[in-house]
Amino acid sequence: MREYMNGRIAVTQGDITTFQVDAIVNAANKSLLGGGGVDGAIHRAAGPELKEECRKLGGCETGQAKITKGYRLPAKHVIHTVGPVWHGGDRDEERLLAECYKNSLQLAVDNGLKTVAFPSISTGAYGFPIEKAAPIAIGTVKEFLENHPEIEKVYFVTFSDRDLEVYLRTADRILSG
């Protein structure tokens, strides 16, 4: 398996529900009650307790983030963030996607968490082009980490071979320069 490691940022391929980190990030829908893709996989792996805690949170707006326990996951917590649906780029999608990463990391800092794993937010059913999403994700995280030494490691966990290749090329370009 090909991976990219540069200091505090890593790009890898795998099943995010198996990562032993302080928090995994869920690419959630606004209800926070589960759905397809990463969201469904996280809810299934965490067990019904996750959905019960999410019910009490009252949903989440696009670009924002909320935190729960990890329950049956190896991760101690789940940070739920709602990515933007892609409408061609004229509805502030890029800013909203960056906010997902910033707000998720800020929640990690606020809760004393040191390791976080992100999926590729909004690039599945929400249709955000991965070629546009990967630079936003990696660039936003890089910038956040420059001012927050308390975060020790951030993983970008891709699912498909194609997504991995895009993230590897993007990481090499942004982090090696």
In this structure, what token pair is assigned to residue 79?
Answer: 């940070």
- Report which residue type is found at 156: F
Residue 170's H or E segment, with its range, is: helix 161-175
Provide the 10 A C-beta neighbour count for residue 88: 8
**Candidates 15, 22, 39, 172; catalytic one:** 39
**Rounded Cα gap, residues 42 and 166, in angstroms:** 23
Told to judge if 39 belongs to the known catalytic residues of this protein, a careful annotator would answer yes
Query: Locate tokens 């917590």: which residue?
Result: 77
List, by residue number, the catalytic residues: 39
